[in-house]
Amino acid sequence: MGGRSQIGITLLGLGVVGGGVARALLEKAESYSRRVGVPLVLRRILVRDPSRERSVQVDRSLITTDAEEALDADADIVVEVIGGEHPAREYIERALKQGRYVVTANKEVMAKHGPELLAEAGRAGVDILYEASVGGGIPIISPLKRDLSANEITSLRAIINGTTNYILTRMSAEEISFNVALRQAQDLGYAEPHPANDVEGHDAAYKLAILASLAFHTRVRPEDIYREGITRLEPRDFRYAAELGYAIKLLAIARRDPPPADAIQVRVHPALIAADELLAKVDGVLNAVQVEGDLIGRVLFQGAGAGPLPTTSAIMADVLDAARSIAQGSRPSPWRYTAAVAVKPMAELVSRYYLRVEVTDRPGVLAGIARCFGDNQVSIASVIQKETDEAAQTAEIVIMTHAAREAAVQAGIQQIESLEEVRHVGNVLRVED
């Protein structure tokens, strides 16, 4: 047992998630102690505002606003649930340098600085664990690090932002605009007052950087990821997609092209996905990650992607893991990146596309659009004319292409936009087959 009589824990942050962690540590102390072999003891809790009402009653002498005091407390494990890049990153780095295990839910820090922090942990003979950084309570970091590690992962497709999944589900079910669905999400506390981080896809991109780095054993940075948010979607896109047999989801996709190409695609964008696929049925705030490996085939992880209890579930699993290592005196082996794999430029992506165009309803318009695509070697699979407004002489055309290169489709769309009869290219969406 390495001679330990207790495992000391410092908690950085006592917000919604921190409160859940403190409550679990206090209320489940006995069973955790049995599982680890020695008691887990809260030593310090760092807060910004000590006068704030908390959802959990903690001994006030544990609370401090002094980061130095919290970090220098006699703790074996530091749990970081402050969020955001700074000062969380500096606190984590300092805790690792001091030889403490770190458990964090911080996707931004892990996406941007994960490799450096893991290397720091390795030098200090400890580990940094981050199961809660992606998918809330869904186990996905640990399966990628351990259970699926004998596979060559070929693809990972995920719904990893609950806020946007809730908004898209409402837009689809109720035919309401993005703004109305966003307000509903804000009223329910799912979306933040400043929702850009979620609706523009940044949050999903951080999480995808973490998952893709693990899946492909290489460093994927957030800036490597092509990113598009959901703000341009309109209720009619959901209606047309449904008529064609698809749902629309904000997908985070990582895929490895086999040798000789040997490059990875990493992208976050709204996509059409066949309505009978499992991912298409993941609705509301739920998250899901589908992984495909050469040995396992396809496996789907689904569940609550946020919220204090699911996030506490993931954090406490990491805490118990670290505590057992400490109690047993075993030396951890932090995750290592083994290969540098090139990221494929978005222009080289090959996909089918959905395109919605508003045109002046006059002979020859369709032929003009077809020519623009034909000039760029993009083949049209189907065309449906929608919503003709005879008085205004306008029509809406929904086009599905065959598989084509992104660069060719974008060049075709530029040409289409310059046609006199084209009033507006409403939306362009990739089809995830």
User: Which residues of this protein are in contact with ligand HSE, per CB under 6 A?
Assistant: 161-163, 198, 203, 305-306
CB of 134 to ligand HSE, least distance (A): 8
CB of 18 to ligand HSE, least distance (A): 14
CB of 308 to ligand HSE, least distance (A): 11
Q: Is 108 or 127 the residue whose CB approaches ligand HSE more closely?
A: 108
Do 406 and 428 touch, CB atoms closer than 8 A? no
Active-site residue identified among 107, 112, 207, 344: 207
Q: Is 8 or 201 the residue whose CB approaches ligand HSE more closely?
A: 201
Q: Which residue is listed with tokens 């640990």? A: 142
- Edge-to-edge order in the sheet of strand 63-64: 63-64, 40-46, 7-12, 77-80, 101-104, 128-129
DSSP 273: E
DSSP 390: T
Cα 94 from Cα 92, distance rounded (Å): 5
CA distances from 302 to 137, 187, 306 (A): 9, 25, 12
Q: Is 198 or 237 the residue whose CB approaches ligand HSE more closely?
A: 198
Q: Is 157 or 344 the residue whose CB approaches ligand HSE more closely?
A: 157
Residue among 355, 335, 376 nearest 424 (CA): 355
Q: Is 133 or 351 the residue whose CB approaches ligand HSE more closely?
A: 133
In 190-251, alpha helices (H): 196-199, 202-216, 235-243
Q: Which residue is listed with tokens 């990875």? A: 264
CA distances from 16 to 23, 160, 308 (A): 11, 20, 6
User: Is 145 a catalytic site residue?
Assistant: no
CB of 160 to ligand HSE, least distance (A): 7
Q: Is 135 or 293 the residue whose CB approaches ligand HSE more closely?
A: 135
Residue nearest to ligand HSE (CB): 163
CB of 162 to ligand HSE, least distance (A): 4
Q: Which two tokens stand for residue 121?
A: 């942990």
CB of 315 to ligand HSE, least distance (A): 13
Burial 223-259 (b: 16+ CB within 10 A, else e): ebbbbbbbbebebbbbebbeebebbbbbbbbbbbbee
Single-letter amino acid code for the residue at 114: G
The catalytic site residues sit at 207
